[in-house]
Amino acid sequence: MSFLPDLGFFTMGMWSVGLGAIGAAVTGIVLANTDLFLSKPEKATLEFLEEIELKALGSNQRTFKAGELWEKNGAVIMAVRRPG
C-alpha cells in the first residue's frame, strides 16, 4: 500500500504548462523581432510632400510649404513620421 497519490495526472499537467510557456515565449520573440504581421507602409508621393507645412525654428517663426524649399534652391527633404 502506497500513501503517495498517482503523479501521472500532475506530470501531464506540468508538461502541458511547460510546452505552453515555451510556445508563448517563441511566439513573443518572433512577433517582437519580425514584421511578419505588420502592414507595409505606403511610399510618400512628391505631391504629398510638397503640401506639407513646415515651421522655421528660432526667432523667425514663419510657416511655409515644403515645395518652396526645392523651388528656390533644390533642397532635399527627408520626411519622418513620429509615433503617436
Q: Are residues 18 and 46 in the same domain?
A: no
Question: Mind listing the pLDDT tens digit for each residue in 28-57?
Answer: 999 999 888 888 887 878 888 888 888 887
Are both 15 and 33 inside the same structural domain? yes
- Domains in the chain: how many in total? 2
Domain carrying residue 20: 7-37
Let me know whether 45 and 77 are in one domain: yes
pTM summary value: 0.42
Is a pLDDT exceeding 60 seen at residue 1? Answer: no
50, 65 Cβ separation under 8 angstroms: yes
Kindly state whether residue 2 falls inside one of the protein's structural domains.
no
Question: CB burial class (10 A; 0-12, 13-18, 19+) of residue 46?
Answer: exposed
- Which segment, 13-27, 43-57, 65-79, is predicted with the most confidence on average? 13-27
**Is the domain of 26 the same as that of 46?**
no
